[in-house]
Amino acid sequence: MSKILILGVLALLIFGPDQLPKMAGQAGRALRDLRRIAESAKADLQEGLGPEFSDFDIADLHPKNFVRKHLWDEFDGTSNGGTTTLPDGTRVPGITVPSNGGPHGTDGASLLAPGESPPYDAEAT
């Protein structure tokens, strides 16, 4: 909040009290125009992609959203990208903890116990 106040005081000193409302109006119009141009470009892109991409969202191209949607959902088989908390407090995506035993991955592979070393495969290295 203090940074916004400092910027406001600087703008008042630089542009003066008579020019500041004009500058704020111009900035508001510029932002409105930029939003309109972005929405128009988005609509043109969706129209150009055709009906098979009707559910396409530009936000899905952000790396975090892309990984969450395409990798984690496939890994854990859920649509919410959820995680499971193991008995030791570790949060692991795509892991189910059966009530009768240790944690098992979604593909049936068991996880290692704390302190247990993984199996060594000489042919794989």
Q: What does the pLDDT read at residue 30? A: 96
Q: What does the pLDDT read at residue 25? A: 92
The 10s digit of each residue's pLDDT in 78-107 is: 544 456 665 666 666 554 444 444 444 445
Contact 56, 48 (CB under 8 A): no
3-class DSSP state for residue 122? coil
The 10s digit of each residue's pLDDT in 17-68 is: 888 889 889 999 999 999 999 999 988 888 888 888 777 777 777 888 878 7
Q: What does the pLDDT read at residue 75? A: 53
The more confidently predicted of residues 40 and 69 is: 40
111-118: long-range pairs with CB below 8 Å, 24+: 111/86, 114/88
Q: How far apart are CA 60 and CA 26, in angstroms?
A: 32
Predicted TM-score (pTM) of the model is 0.42
Q: What does the pLDDT read at residue 49? A: 82
Domain layout of the chain by residue ranges: 2-56, 59-105
Q: What does the pLDDT read at residue 54? A: 75
3-class DSSP state for residue 5? helix
